[in-house]
Amino acid sequence: FRFFIGLVIFKDKRGRIGIEKMKVVIASFAGLVRAVASYLPPGIMLSLSAAFISKGEYFSSWMDEFVGSLLMIACTFSAGKWIGADSLPVAWASHAMGVIAADYFGGGPQVNPAVSLSMWSLGKISYTEFFVKVCGQMMGGMVAFPLFQYVAHTTLGLNELGGPEFQATDDDEAVGAFLSEFFASVLLMFLIYAVNWELNFGKNHYIIKQTLTAVGIRFLIEVFPTAGPAMNPMLGTAWAVFAAYKKTGSTHYPEDPMHYFIYWLAPFCAALVASFAYSIFDGTPFFGKKLPIGPIKQSTPPAPIETATKTKKATKKE
């Protein structure tokens, strides 16, 4: 209580309470409370309860994904909006730095349900951890957009953040958007496999692989713009929920089935196709099963162990 009072009470040079300053702080705090109270993300109880599955065994995974999603949206969606609004090179550089910063400070989270599905199919995580990670990611996305909207736009007057969205007017457009998200997500998965598992950049591996990841994501955004692209179910749905809230004042999941067809089914299918292809290439089990084909990748044989040989000098027998 004393800490809170210390934050909101200011004194002028004569020791009197700065009432006007205190009113400004209290008004800002009250506005934030009203904004939070009026925006309760759908599925919040499911997302929160998932953090305590198995007596909290996966709480750290949930927290990594929650914080990582917040950081990812703040660091990457601000490019071109808060930073580099008038300069494309600056926006691109900001996006690249944002990808690196979000991963580094977030502890390397996946922040993408499609990526988590791929990791589960390849045996990198269990089904339970996959579920917990997706819940943490969704919670982070649902909180991030309204939070940064209020802090950056309403309070600081910065540009509003945008997000991936697509409204199909017919089936052909929906199929086109599906294919755009599908192929963009497949290429994203291949990029992740390559820079994390197949390539080694020595002592600068982390910074190089994250830079390549950032450049790759930027490239995919430019090449596959039909539905955003999102390449991430969490981003597509979290933005749709917040966009609907701005229009109607109520929070609910998207009601159009095409949203899930484009932003969930497409990247999930892409994750499974890419994982299946990687399993053939590397020989990694796919959902715990060895495939009857592959691996294409040739395993490097272990280096021969050199043993010292002792040479014996021949002696002449007399």
The amino acid at residue 191 is L
Separation in Å, CA 317 to CA 172, 311, 312: 96, 18, 15
Residue 289: strand, helix, or coil:
strand
The pLDDT value recorded for residue 39 is 66
Q: What is the distance between the alpha carbons of residues 55 and 65, in angstroms, rounded to a whole number? A: 18
**Spatial CB neighbours of 186, under 8 Å, sequence gap ≥ 6:** 270, 273, 274
Q: Can you give the pTM of this predicted structure?
A: 0.81
- The whole-angstrom distance between residue 299's C-alpha and the CA centroid of its chain comes to 32
On whether the CB atoms of residues 193 and 182 are closer than 8 A, the answer is no
The pLDDT value recorded for residue 13 is 47
On whether the CB atoms of residues 178 and 262 are closer than 8 A, the answer is yes
Q: What is the distance between the alpha carbons of residues 301 and 312, in angstroms, rounded to a whole number? A: 32
The interaxial angle of helices 266-282 and 171-193, nearest 10 deg, is 40
| Stretch (H or E) spanning 117 | helix 113-121
User: How many other CB atoms are found less than 10 A from the CB of residue 105?
Assistant: 12
Burial class of residue 10, CB neighbours in 10 A (0-12, 13-18, 19+): middle
| pLDDT (tens place) for every residue of the chain, 318 residues total | 444 445 444 455 444 555 666 666 677 666 666 655 566 778 888 899 999 999 999 999 999 999 999 999 988 887 777 777 777 788 888 888 888 888 888 888 999 999 999 999 999 999 999 999 999 999 999 999 888 887 776 666 777 778 888 888 888 999 999 999 999 999 999 999 999 999 999 999 999 999 999 999 989 998 999 998 899 999 999 999 998 888 888 888 999 999 999 999 999 999 999 999 999 999 999 999 999 998 998 766 555 555 444 444 444 444
The pLDDT value recorded for residue 7 is 47
- State both tokens at 155: 């309070």
At 15, phi and psi to the nearest 5? Answer: 90, 5
On whether the CB atoms of residues 93 and 78 are closer than 8 A, the answer is no
The pLDDT value recorded for residue 311 is 44
Q: What is the distance between the alpha carbons of residues 119 and 85, in angstroms, rounded to a whole number? A: 35
- State both tokens at 293: 């084909």
